[in-house]
Structure 1
Amino acid sequence: MNVLDARARFQELRERSGLIDPGELDAVWTALDTVRPQDILGEWKGGEFRTGHPLEGMLAEADWYGKTFASVHDAKPLMCRNTAGELYSNLELGQGEASLWTVEFRGESTATMVYDGRPVFDHFKRVDGTTLMGIMNAKGVPAEGPFYYFFLERASEAPPAAGEGA
């Protein structure tokens, strides 16, 4: 699969309402380009692929919005909405925040978010100029998974953060 086919397949899988075989997502991942940490700074709105992973649906329950990468050393993995609809970094759920590094995963070096309080890594690859595909990996997860698959879409205009005016 070339990168153009991977982008088209990514979109098809993103729009699918039923369960997705992780092997289909792995095929897309393999064809995508790696990305550097400094190239993904900014605000991102997130979503998940339905693969039957145990984490599926948990972020939605926390009103997860996405991720914010203010700098390589200031990453907020769990930007959620409070009851007023404002964004905040959910430090409790994430057990802290995170940082961005270049880490090898499946034989390629790519931007990876390393959580401060958990042995968890979110690996990223570029789908296009405004979209990233992510695979969550963690200590103790075998090489074959199961992995949690998600995507991030660059936010054109981030909603107000908690404490800021609308």
Structure 2
Amino acid sequence: MENIEVLNAILRDGTTQSEAFSLFDKLDIVEPEEMLGMWKGEEIATGHPLEGLLTASGWYGKEFIDAEHVHPLIFKKSDGVLYTISPSFLPINLLLQSLQNIPKKILSPSMTILRPILHTSKSAARLRKVNYRGKVTSAMIYDNKGIIDVFRKVDANTLLGIMDIKDQSSDKTFFFILRKA
């Protein structure tokens, strides 16, 4: 089965952390220049505590302007308009600890209420190459968070990403995909 077919099956059915890493490890590296532009994101179900949070809150994806300017969190309003938020205001570790107790149905209305506080036009990450699991590939490094998103190429328009969170309370990795918008 080709990588894109495996990915589509994983997106449809979910998978284990081990199987997701198996696919990730088989994929080719991606160069920073290949990542420029707008990308639409989708979470992969592998059992990570953050699963469903981004989708429920209206996450659209990421925008890579150049190596020094990246918008890691782009959201979509109900009218279809995209906007960027600052990850600096998001308490990732608190969310990891309490997400099971937060009803996902309140996340989208909460984002609407918090949009004026969270909205930013400034970039909040940079694009660099890192060595991760034996391959040097592109990674998005958050400016003010202990988070690195590492990417591998499924095909020219699809990336598989992992979120490497420093000091997270979970032993699991958050997996997602990006498709060229």
The one-letter amino acid paired with 1:106 is R
Matches of 2:3 and 2:23 in 1, distance apart? 5
Shift of 1:135: 0.5
The answer on 1:110 being equivalent to 2:105 is no
Deviation, structure 1 residue 127: 0.1
Q: Distance in 1 between matches of 2:28 and 2:168?
A: 24
Secondary structure of 2:167 counterpart: coil
Aligned-partner SS, 1:33: coil
Report the alpha carbon displacement of residue 65 of structure 1 after superposing the two structures with TM.
Answer: 0.3
Corresponding position of 2:161: 134
Give the Å deviation of 1:83.
Answer: 4.3
More strand by share: 1
Q: Does 1:100 align with 2:118?
A: no
> Contact 1:98–1:114 (CA<8 Å) still a contact in 2?
yes
Question: Are 2:173 and 1:147 equivalent residues in the alignment?
Answer: yes
| 1:123-162 superposed Cα distances (whole Å, 9 cap, x missing partner) | 00000011000010021359x941000000100xxxxxxx
Structure 1 residue runs without a partner (length 5+): 156-166
Matched, 1:55 2:82: no
Whole-angstrom distance in 2 between the partners of 1:110 and 1:21:
23
- Work out whether residues 97 and 115 of structure 1, in 8 Å CA contact, stay in contact via their aligned partners in 2: yes
CA distance in 2, matches of 1:83, 1:9: 31
After TM superposition, give the deviation of residue 100 of structure 1 in Å. Answer: 0.4
Tell me how far apart the structure 2 counterparts of residues 90 and 149 of structure 1 sit (CA, whole Å).
20
Matched, 1:15 2:12: yes
In the alignment, what sits opposite 1:124?
A: 151
Report the AA paired with residue 109 of structure 1: V
- AA paired with 2:177? F
The Cα offsets for residues 87-136 of structure 1, whole Å up to 9 and x where unpaired, read as 01111449871110001111211100001110000000000011000010
Match of 1:158 in 2: none
SS in 2 for 1:118: coil
What amino acid sits opposite 2:142 in the alignment? Y
- Give 3-state SS (helix, strand or coil) of 1:34's partner: coil
Aligned to 2:96: none
- Partner residue in 1 for 2:68: 73
1:159 counterpart residue number: none
Structure 1 match to 2:95: none
CA contact (8 A) 2:43 2:55 kept: no
